[in-house]
Amino acid sequence: MEKTFLMVKPDGVQRQLIGEIVARFERKGLQLIGAKLMTIPVETAEQHYGEHKGKPFFNDLVNFITSGPVFAMVWQGKDVIEISRQMIGKTNPKEALPGTIRGDYGAFLSKNVIHGSDSLQSAKREINLFFKEEELVAYDKLMNKWIY
Ligand code: IDP
């Protein structure tokens, strides 16, 4: 089964959206296999957003993502990367469709509530950056036979 890294950003945690967001992915039929509330060390944030290094918003991005706790998660399911990106919506909440997480809860580009891996490669990299192997819990979800 495919895995992805999803993270409620500091704005989402402060706005008490963790439950809403987890509920959406659960109802979609995806499986939570790891989660933790944590404050991201600056070096980890710089690695996580490495592709944006050198861009004008990079420092603000790192400052923001390390400014308060995030809720880091690993979810599993068939095509989970594409499905979760669809559910998250476009990067800029102004353009994200209603019904998506950013479309429903976000109002500003740099405070867009949630992060989700955008490819198999970034999912692997981000899961390894945030989670140790023993923090991921493999378990049979009986409901899966009604989902797939
Ligand atoms: P994504 O989060 O939808 O994958 P990325 O392009 O990887 O989007 O950008 C990472 C994060 O950086 C975005 O979620 C957003 O919060 C922030 N960001 C992206 N572009 C800009 C910008 O032009 N100005 C300020 N912040 C930006």
Name the CATH superfamily for 3-145. Nucleoside diphosphate kinase-like domain (3.30.70.141)
Distance (angstroms) between ligand 1 centre and the Cα of 95 equals 13
- What are the residue numbers of the active site? 115
Percentage helix, strand, coil for the chain under 3-state DSSP, each rounded to 5: 45, 20, 35
Nearest Cα residue to atom 16 of ligand 1? 110
- Average pLDDT of the chain to the nearest whole number: 97
Q: pLDDT band for 135, please (50, 70, 90 cuts).
A: very high
- Residue range 17-38: mean pLDDT, rounded: 98
Nearest Cα residue to atom 18 of ligand 1? 110
Q: Which long-range contacts (CB under 8 A, 24 or more apart) does 142-145 make?
A: 143/29, 144/29, 144/31
Tell me how far CA of residue 119 lies from CA of 81, 98, 145, in angstroms.
7, 23, 26
Beta strands in 68-119 (DSSP E): 70-77, 114-116
Pocket of ligand 1 (CB under 6 A): 57, 61, 91, 109-110, 112, 115, 118
The residue written with tokens 């990299």 in the block is 125
- ipTM of the predicted assembly exceeds 0.85: yes
Identity of the amino acid at 29: G
Instruction: Show me where the domains of the chain are located.
Output: 3-145
Question: Closest ligand 1 atom to the C-alpha of 49?
Answer: 10
Distance CA 10, CA 81 (A): 22
Predicted model pTM: 0.97
The pLDDT, as a whole number, for residue 144 is 94
Distance CA 65, CA 111 (A): 9
- Residue range 71-86: mean pLDDT, rounded: 98
| Residues forming a β-bridge with 108 | 111
Distance CA 120, CA 79 (A): 10
